[in-house]
Chains A and B, each alone.
Chain A
Amino acid sequence: MGSSKPISIKNLHVLFNGDRSKHLHVLENISFTLDADSFVTIIGPSGCGKSTLFRLISGLPTKDSCEIGGEIKIFGKEPRVASEDRDIGLILQKPTLLEWRSVAKNMLLPLEIMGYEKEKGRKKVNKLLKILELEPYAHYRPSELSGGMQQKVSIGRALAYNPELLLMDEPFAALDEVNRRKMNDEIIRIWKEMEKTILFVTHNIQEAVYLSQKVIVLSKKPSRIYKIVDIDLEYPRSKVEASNKYYKYIKEIREYLNEATV
């Protein structure tokens, strides 16, 4: 991978070709980069094209009537190529676990598809189960777990093949406040312990400030980058949560979001 940045986006434009001659600008002039081992969050009003941006970075297909300009590089490669090279781990809004498989077997899925030998795959999964503290649940089925635990398994599944970059699309949006906080602490622990680069999408300001080193605020459609805020706070954030500085960041981002939505 050399010195290429995990994510580098230059002048990204996305146009949906509607039925009428009207073109809908979804994303306009988006440029940003992510450094290795950083934690960056994208926040924006709902329906602002966060999901489209997420799909483009992940190398997932978008709607066919979509015109894309500009450049997205993941470790210097096209997103599709990076995805084939297993540089990207996807964590989606819903856990999307296979209900007929146990926790351990769910985490084994990507390795099976990559053609790993059974023993080798199992060893990797066991190691991950230990790191994620999921060992006692290895043989549970997804339906026996809470929403937060299910999402944790889906994080484990994404980590199974050890990708450098984790892309997370509002993974904790469906969780209640307490569980969301627990999972936020977990994801910070995983990020530090495994030295990953994480791009996190959310619409929750608290979560954005609690988690990230940098918050990218998107405006409403056509989405541009409205502001990029560096969060200069130490980890774990639970220690500085009550500080003035922390609240200032939340207030600042809330103001930007309000301005960007008008």
Chain B
Amino acid sequence: MKQLFKKYKSFLISTLSLLLFFLLWELSLNIFDVSKAVLIKPSDILETSIEDYDILIKAMIYTAKEVLPGWIIGNSLGFLFALLTYKNESIAKPLIKGSVLMNSIPLIALTAIIGGIIGTNRDQKILIVSLITFFPTFIITLSELTTINEGHKDLMHSYSATKKQILRKILLPKSLPVILNSVKITIITAIFTAITAEFFGGYGGIGIFILSKKGLCNLNLVWAGISFIAIFGSLFYFGFEFLEKRIVKWQRN
């Protein structure tokens, strides 16, 4: 029992504090009699979420179909480009500069530019998400692949290992935990990038949903939309973390 508690301690604490937070929110609104126009009670949000869950889920799935492909494409390309260029500084350096430049363009401007070229469809969101998630994974993979422990280097030299063998036996496995971390962090980036892009036009998705309900002053649905994003984000993030821990077992101690 004690061990079980230890194992789920952090989970329990975070769940309890979250519940406490909602409880305080609910109670203080009741006590101070705050108007619905200012802030809504969690119970109202829950009620609306349950009532309209079908349209909310539909909107969330629409957004997920922008987030997932964009996230996968961006991260894969980031990893692939790093893999192709880590041996060649003269190619890697301009690529780094280019992606820094790309990432310093405000998201709003980037959305507008790409929207102007290919329209405000789903492909636009996928493209923007891939561009944004490409950067961290590319830079981190590159820096991991270009650093090696001196002892490992000497050892591989004494085995007369080829560059490919050094990559496969040393560089890739030692980089894996760091790369997976970057991939994990880009989950959150990908979600808010897609939703921000939706705010500037589109044909569906949770961002569009929130925007239109806000226009109708239906704050209950706005908040329901926001909580769906939070749930989707957490599920995605912690689901990935669960996988990550299984892949890099040796890191745990």
Interface residues of A (CB under 8 A from B): 58-61, 83-84, 88, 90, 92, 94, 96, 98-100, 109-110, 112-114, 141, 143-144
Report how many A-B pairs have Cβ atoms within 8 Å. 49
Across the interface, do B158 and A113 meet the contact criterion of CB distance under 8 Å?
no
A83 and B159 CA atoms in complex are apart in Å by 7
B161 contacts A61, C-beta separation under 8 Å:
no
Interface of B is mostly: helix
Query: Min CB distance, A74 to chain B, in Å?
Result: 12
Q: Which residues of the partner chain A approach B169 to less than 8 Å between Cβ atoms?
A: 98, 109, 112-113
Query: Which residue of B has the minimal Cβ distance to A92?
Result: B151
Q: With the chains together, A84 CA to B160 CA distance in Å?
A: 6
Interface string of B143-159 (1 = CB under 8 A from A): 00000010110111111
Contact, CB under 8 Å: B159 / A113: yes
B253 at the A interface (CB under 8 A) = yes
Complex Cα gap A107–B195 (Å): 50
State in angstroms the CA–CA spacing of A84 and B170 once bound together. Answer: 19
| CB neighbours of A88 from chain B (8 A) | 158
Report if A61-B157 is in contact (Cβ < 8 Å); known contacts: A96-B152, A100-B174, A113-B169.
yes
Asked if A113 and B161 make an inter-chain contact with CB atoms under 8 angstroms apart, the answer reads yes
For the complex, give the distance between the alpha carbons of A144 and B252 in Å: 11
Residue of B nearest to A79 (CB): B158
Q: Provide the bound-state CA to CA distance between A90 and B158, in Å.
A: 8
Interface membership of B5, Cβ < 8 A: no
Known: A83-B160, A96-B152, A113-B156. 9 other contacts (CB 8 A): A58-B154, A60-B158, A61-B157, A83-B158, A98-B169, A98-B170, A99-B250, A143-B250, A144-B253
Instruction: Determine how close the nearest CB of chain B comes to the CB of A47; give it in whole angstroms.
Output: 18
Query: Can you list 12 A-B pairs, Cβ within 8 angstroms, ordered by A?
Result: A58-B154, A60-B154, A83-B158, A84-B160, A90-B158, A92-B155, A96-B149, A100-B173, A100-B250, A113-B169, A143-B250, A143-B253
Output the least CB separation between B43 and chain A (Å): 49
For A143, list chain B residues within 8 Å (CB).
Answer: 250, 253
Residue pair B250, A141 in contact (C-beta under 8 Å): yes
Query: Is the CB–CB distance between A98 and B160 below 8 Å?
Result: no
When chains A and B are docked, how far (Å) is the Cα of A110 from the Cα of B154?
13
A143 to B252, CA, bound (A): 10
Given A83-B160, A98-B173, A113-B161, A90-B154 contact (CB < 8 Å): yes
Contact A114-B157, Cβ < 8 Å, known A96-B152, A144-B253: no
**B160→A90 contact, CB < 8 A:** no
CB pair B158 A59 closer than 8 Å: yes
Interface residues of B in 146-199 (CB under 8 A from A): 149, 151-152, 154-161, 165, 169-170, 173-174, 176
- Residues in B with CB closer than 8 Å to A92 are 151, 154-155
Q: Which of B96-151 contact A (CB under 8 A)?
A: 149, 151
Residues of A within 8 A of B165 (CB): 113
Contacts A113-B159, A113-B165 given; indicate if A94 touches B250 (C-beta within 8 A).
no
CA distance A96 to B170 in the complex (A): 11
A114 in contact with B159 (CB, 8 Å): yes
Q: How far is the CA of A88 from the CA of B157 in the complex (A)?
A: 12
